[in-house]
Amino acid sequence: MTPDEPAPGHARPPAGGVATSVEDGRAEYPVRSEEDLLEARHAVRAVCLTVGFGLVDQTRVVTAASELVRNAYIHGGGGTLTIERLARPSAKGVRLTVADAGPGIANVDVALTDGYSTGAGLGHGLGGARRLMHEFWIDTRPGGGTTVCATRWTSG
Ligand SMILES: Nc1ncnc2c1ncn2[C@@H]1O[C@H](COP(=O)(O)OP(=O)(O)OP(=O)(O)O)[C@@H](O)[C@H]1O
Ligand SMILES: [Mg+2]
Q: What is the tens place of the pLDDT at every residue in 112-126?
A: 999 999 999 999 999
The arithmetic mean of pLDDT across residues 4-33, rounded, is 67
The protein residues having their C-beta less than 5 angstroms from ligand 2 (an ion) are 71, 121, 125
What integer pLDDT is reported at residue 13 of this predicted model?
A: 53
Rounded distance from Cα 90 to ligand 2 centre (Å): 33
Q: Counting ligands in written order, which one lies closest to the CA of residue 76? A: 1
pTM for the predicted model, two decimal places: 0.89
27 Cβ below 6 A of ligand 1: no
Q: Which of 32, 63, 75 to mutate to test the pocket of ligand 1 (most atoms within 8 A of CB)?
A: 75
Confidence check: pLDDT of 8 > 90: no
* One-character DSSP codes across the chain: --TTSPPTTBSS-----S--EEPS--EEEEE-SHHHHHHHHHHHHHHHHHHT--HHHHHHHHHHHHHHHHHHHHTSS-EEEEEEEEEETTEEEEEEEEEE-SS--S-HHHHHSTT--SSSS-S-HHHHHHHHSSEEEEEE-TTS-EEEEEEEE---
Domain ranges of the chain: 21-153
What integer pLDDT is reported at residue 23 of this predicted model?
A: 76
Pick the CATH number of 21-153 from 3.40.50.280, 3.40.1160.10, 3.30.565.10, 3.40.630.10: 3.30.565.10
80 Cβ below 6 A of ligand 1: no
Q: Which atom of ligand 1 is nearest to the CA of 114?
A: 18
Query: Sorting pLDDT into bands at 50, 70 and 90, what band is 140?
Result: very high
The arithmetic mean of pLDDT across residues 60-84, rounded, is 98
Q: What is the tens place of the pLDDT at every residue in 81-122?
A: 999 999 999 999 999 999 999 999 999 999 999 999 999 999
- Burial of 67 from C-beta contacts in 10 A (0-12 / 13-18 / 19+): buried
